[in-house]
Amino acid sequence: MFNVTTKTIQWGNETLKLESGKVARQADGTVIATLGETSVMANVTFAKAAKPGQDFFPLTVHYQEKYYAAGKIPGGFFKREARPSEKETLTSRLIDRPCRPLFVEGFKNEVLLMCTVLSHDLVNEPDIVAMIAASAALTISGVPFMGPIGAARVGFSNGAYVLNPDVEDMQNLRNNPDQRLDLVVAGTKDAVMMVESEAYELSEAEMLGAVKFGHEAMQPVIDMIMDFAEDCAKEPFDFSPPDYSALYAKVKTAGEAQMRAAFAIRDKQERTTAISAAVSAIKGAMSEEDLADVNLGSAIKKLESSILRGDVVKNGTRIDGRDTKTVRAITCETGILPRTHGSALFTRGETQGLVVTTLGTGEDEQIIDALHGNSRSNFLLHYNFPPYSVGEVGRVGSPGRREIGHGKLAWRALQAVLPAATDFPYTIRVVSEITESNGSSSMASVCGGSLSMMDAGVPLKAPVAGVAMGLILEDDGSYAVLTDILGDEDHLGDMDFKVAGTANGITSLQMDIKIAGITPAIMEQALAQAKDGRMHILGEMAKSLTSAQAFSQYAPKIETMQIPTDKIREVIGSGGKVIREIVETSGAKVDINDDGQIKIASNDAAAIKRAYDMIYSIVAEPEEGRVYTGKVVKLVDFGAFVNFFGKRDGLVHVSQIANKRLNHPNEILKEGQEVKVKLLGFDDRGKVRLGMKMVDQETGEEVVEKKEESTEG
């Protein structure tokens, strides 16, 4: 019934298996990839004809994690997987980015690629397995795909690169000093296609070494997929790249001069208007038959590309007049919003980000429900890209894949320099509002985020800056690496290479290639130029932070205290009764961790002290010989019981109340009276013994008793 194809190799410390032919046989290509006991199914379907008038390549990638894969039931009311999580969205992008450039040019049929996590062993990350499964499914489906690709995760520990580190090793990289890198690399047999990483101030040489290590490590996987495809691949889809050379010649004749003049305009808005006018002029010169040709858009884009790219490679001059290494003019301002905890406006050329930092308490931490278990994050970074930032009209809705991806890139760049939670017990939320955009708003978010957090008083280990690099690679092998790319250079170029870091090293690297990969030499040059650009930007940022930034008066103040874990139950109380009483009485927020760390937060210092004292009175032990302020709770014939330390009571014997004989304590004391008492010690049964007569009841100072001298008359 089934015609099953299986291939297996030993890859690193685990067995990697590919299987097809048993499940989802009506899809054009289905592969289940298994690494260890983590399994991901990839399904490929594609339309056998393009939609009429289709002028772009409609590839859709969906990665989805099923909770049953880890033996879990989803949380929430509905108990089923709903909208994609951030991890699923980011992994969908991770799969899309290296695969999209490898489809044959001119192929515009709709393609759907779905990757479903079926089993998760909590050791091997499913994203790498999904990328391998997707590559294999595309390769055997018959779709015109110039793969396969391979993928690998690279760690860096104790000076050595690690292939596919365990999930546990990579979780919360910030709190794992043994791991300094989480890098995902994908590529073909000959070249690297995509890199995504977060790092802890690695050098350019170390990052380049990690990329090379990952590319070499994926070669057995690529060979395996090719061997697998030889046994089960479908016949290639009958598709030939369209020949629109004649149409391109007409387009070039009709509009080259006007288009070249448009690209010579330095201002973005004016240039965009002029380019639109040139396109309209070209279309106005075309026949009805040419206008109906679906390749007209491709021909016009080819003309735009040839003009922009040719001048850069031949003359080293870009459309805004810069050379290949110059960063646009930068202006940095901090503290521009009066009531926020921290704010910054970062402007680089025609790209601008208004970035705001808000400090919160432990209650504001994000709870992340994932296959490998729940976790909490005290650093959040959200990126918004409204239509007005590029002078357009458009719909405004919930964050899309681009917003989530750009926000995560900036998060990765900044997380390496955050203070430890024990030193700075705040939840930090950074929001980047992109108000203008013409090239790398994600790197503007990194720079603005660093400035904004420092403005809020966050003690970062070092400022972080980021810069986007581009590439123009011609057919004859000549190329130009561009520092601080414009939007047009990104759109019409061959590479988007973003590097962020401190003066000491790289904290994040992201690379996307629109051609069939780049060589290590090009990547090395890009890293070197990016370092020069980053150092320049850090120098400009430093000008806006000439003095220590004050902590915002509007931010909550947090004090931490550590208690023994066996005292946690006493502070919380039965059903939370005690902790509720502390919060209501003091007016402060109180968060208790399982390790006994307590965070007390309030805008009122007095409220923090009240809560601290109440907790201290519960967990601390009274000290013998110390003077305390207490309250008389009960009078008896032989003394007075005084509540002196939290809920602790002690007995002041009638002989210890005053320096004279009393028949009954009520001669001096009454219930509810505040008194100063000294802890004398504990009796044989552990009962507390207190004294009053040796303490000045006004000042609380201890009184030294004087013996009366005897006299003879």
Choose the most confident range, by mean pLDDT, from 60-74, 509-523, 551-565, 647-661. 60-74
Distance CA 424, CA 418 (A): 9
pLDDT at 709: 46
Distance CA 544, CA 455 (A): 10
Give kind and range of the element (H or E) at residue 65.
Answer: strand 59-65
Distance CA 661, CA 275 (A): 105
pLDDT at 501: 96
Omega of the bond leading into 148 within 30 degrees of 0 (cis): yes
Confidence of residue 713 (pLDDT cuts 50, 70, 90): very low
pLDDT at 116 over 80: yes
CA-to-CA dists, residue 131 to 26, 114, 118, 140, angstroms: 21, 11, 14, 14
Q: Give me the helix-helix angle, 441-455 and 520-542, nearest 10°.
A: 40
What's the average model confidence in pLDDT over 63-69? 95
Burial class (CB in 10 A: 0-12, 13-18, 19+), 191: middle
Q: Give me the helix-helix angle, 401-415 and 86-99, nearest 10°.
A: 100
Digit-coded pLDDT (tens) for 76-101: 788 888 889 999 999 999 999 999 99
Digit-coded pLDDT (tens) for 199-212: 999 999 999 999 99
pLDDT at 513: 85
Confidence of residue 708 (pLDDT cuts 50, 70, 90): very low
Confidence of residue 175 (pLDDT cuts 50, 70, 90): low
Q: What is the mean pLDDT of the chain?
A: 89
pLDDT at 705 over 70: no
Strand order in the sheet with 589-592: 557-562, 597-602, 589-592
| Cα dihedral 34, 37, 42, 43 sign | positive
Distance CA 131, CA 152 (A): 9
Burial class (CB in 10 A: 0-12, 13-18, 19+), 419: middle
Answer whether 184's CB lies under 8 Å from 128's CB: yes
pLDDT at 440 over 50: yes
pLDDT at 547: 57
Distance CA 353, CA 346 (A): 5
Residues contacting residue 405 through CB under 8 Å, at least 6 positions apart: 89, 90, 93
pLDDT at 681 over 50: yes
pLDDT at 70 over 80: yes
Distance CA 621, CA 567 (A): 11
CA-to-CA dists, residue 541 to 434, 531, 550, 704, angstroms: 18, 15, 17, 63
- Which of 28-42, 58-72, 170-184, 474-488 comes out lowest in average pLDDT? 170-184
Answer whether 37's CB lies under 8 Å from 49's CB: no
Burial class (CB in 10 A: 0-12, 13-18, 19+), 606: exposed
Digit-coded pLDDT (tens) for 552-587: 888 888 888 888 888 899 899 888 899 999 999 998
What's the average model confidence in pLDDT over 318-338? 90
Confidence of residue 173 (pLDDT cuts 50, 70, 90): low
Of 538, 525, 377, nearest in space to 443 by CA: 538
- Which of 79-83, 285-289, 617-621, 638-642 comes out lowest in average pLDDT? 617-621
Distance CA 271, CA 269 (A): 5
Residues in the chain: 713
pLDDT at 325 over 70: yes
Confidence of residue 361 (pLDDT cuts 50, 70, 90): confident
Distance CA 219, CA 16 (A): 13
Distance CA 54, CA 65 (A): 32
Confidence of residue 429 (pLDDT cuts 50, 70, 90): very high
Answer whether 465's CB lies under 8 Å from 500's CB: yes
pLDDT at 11: 96
Q: List, in sequence order, the alpha helices (H) in 340-428.
A: 401-415
pLDDT at 174: 61
Planar angle of CA 355, 467, 378, nearest 5 degrees: 45
CB atoms within 10 A of CB 574: 7
Distance CA 454, CA 465 (A): 13
Distance CA 78, CA 462 (A): 44
Walk me through the domains of the chain, giving residue ranges and CATH numbers. Answer: 5-232 (3.30.230.70), 245-315 (1.10.10.400), 330-542 (3.30.230.70), 557-619 (3.30.1370.10), 627-691 (2.40.50.140)
Answer whether 188's CB lies under 8 Å from 149's CB: yes
57: its two tokens: 């390549």
pLDDT at 471: 87
pLDDT at 195: 94
What's the average model confidence in pLDDT over 690-706? 82
3-state secondary structure of 556: coil
pLDDT over 90 percentage in the chain: 52
Burial class (CB in 10 A: 0-12, 13-18, 19+), 134: buried
Torsion of CA 310, 312, 316, 318, to 10 degrees: 140
Burial class (CB in 10 A: 0-12, 13-18, 19+), 553: exposed
**For residue 239, which phi and psi values (nearest 5 degrees)?**
-145, 130
Digit-coded pLDDT (tens) for 214-241: 999 999 999 999 999 999 999 999 998 8
pLDDT at 82: 85
pLDDT at 214: 96
| Cα dihedral 413, 419, 420, 421 sign | negative
pLDDT at 15 over 70: yes
What's the average model confidence in pLDDT over 656-665? 88
DSSP per position, 313-350: HHH---TTS--SSPPPPEEEEE--SSSSSEEEEEEETT
CB-hemisphere CA count at 13 Å for 596? 9
Of 44, 510, 441, 399, nearest in space to 237 by CA: 44
What's the average model confidence in pLDDT over 328-335? 94
Question: Bridge partners of 695?
Answer: 702
pTM: 0.85
Answer whether 195's CB lies under 8 Å from 211's CB: yes
Digit-coded pLDDT (tens) for 408-425: 999 999 999 999 888 888
- Which of 115-119, 139-143, 344-348, 661-665 comes out lowest in average pLDDT? 661-665
Burial class (CB in 10 A: 0-12, 13-18, 19+), 1: exposed
Digit-coded pLDDT (tens) for 146-158: 989 999 999 998 8
pLDDT over 70 percentage in the chain: 97
pLDDT at 151: 97
